[in-house]
Amino acid sequence: MTEEQKFYLTKEGLERLKKEYEDLKELKLAKTKGESPKILHSEDLNPEYLAFQEDISFLESRIIELENVFKNAAIINTPKREKQNIIDLGATVMVEVDGQKDEFTLVGSLEANPSVGKISNESPVGKALLGHRVGDNVIVSSPIQTAYKIKKIKYQIA
């Protein structure tokens, strides 16, 4: 028996996915409520019917995917005060790399977006930083070796 993958989400991320889920269910209902295109009784299938089937199939697969996420979701919580000096999910970390300072927040893979400073706990950098403290030097190999000096760790208090 394989272990189900856990999806780590912030409360905001979970709410966004729930809204998407509700919107998709409404869209599917609206699409299937009306009259669907007919299969033509000839050798050729109606292209309108094929597009309709493809749309419904996409909606159904995304709905199933989101249901799986909800079933296996784990909310990222702020750790107890005495553990807030250790990098974990939800931490905003300031690091120094080659004399340059960089700051990002560690989130689950579904919310990762490096362009807005959110990196995944499954990324090489995220994985390497987990469990470290201010002052630690962490070497990350992906594909070149880079040294990260941890300068600051903070958690947004929920």
Strands 73-75 and 7-9, sheet pairing? parallel
Residue 96 in domain: yes
Residue 2 in domain: no
pLDDT per residue over 55-89, tens digit each?
889 999 999 999 999 999 999 999 999 999 999 99
Give pTM, 2 decimals. 0.78
Run of H or E residues at 154? strand 145-155
Assess whether 85 and 71 both reside in one domain. no
Residue 1 in domain: no
Assess whether 71 and 85 both reside in one domain. no
Of 39, 55, 75, the last residue of a domain is 75
Count structural domains, the chain.
2
Determine contact, residues 112/120, Cβ cutoff 8 Å.
yes
Lowest mean pLDDT among 102-106, 107-111, 143-147, 154-158: 154-158
Question: Could you list the residue range(s) of the whole structural domain that residue 144 is in?
Answer: 81-155
CB atoms within 10 A of CB 108: 24
pLDDT per residue over 8-63, tens digit each?
999 999 999 999 999 999 998 888 886 666 655 555 667 787 788 888 899 999 99
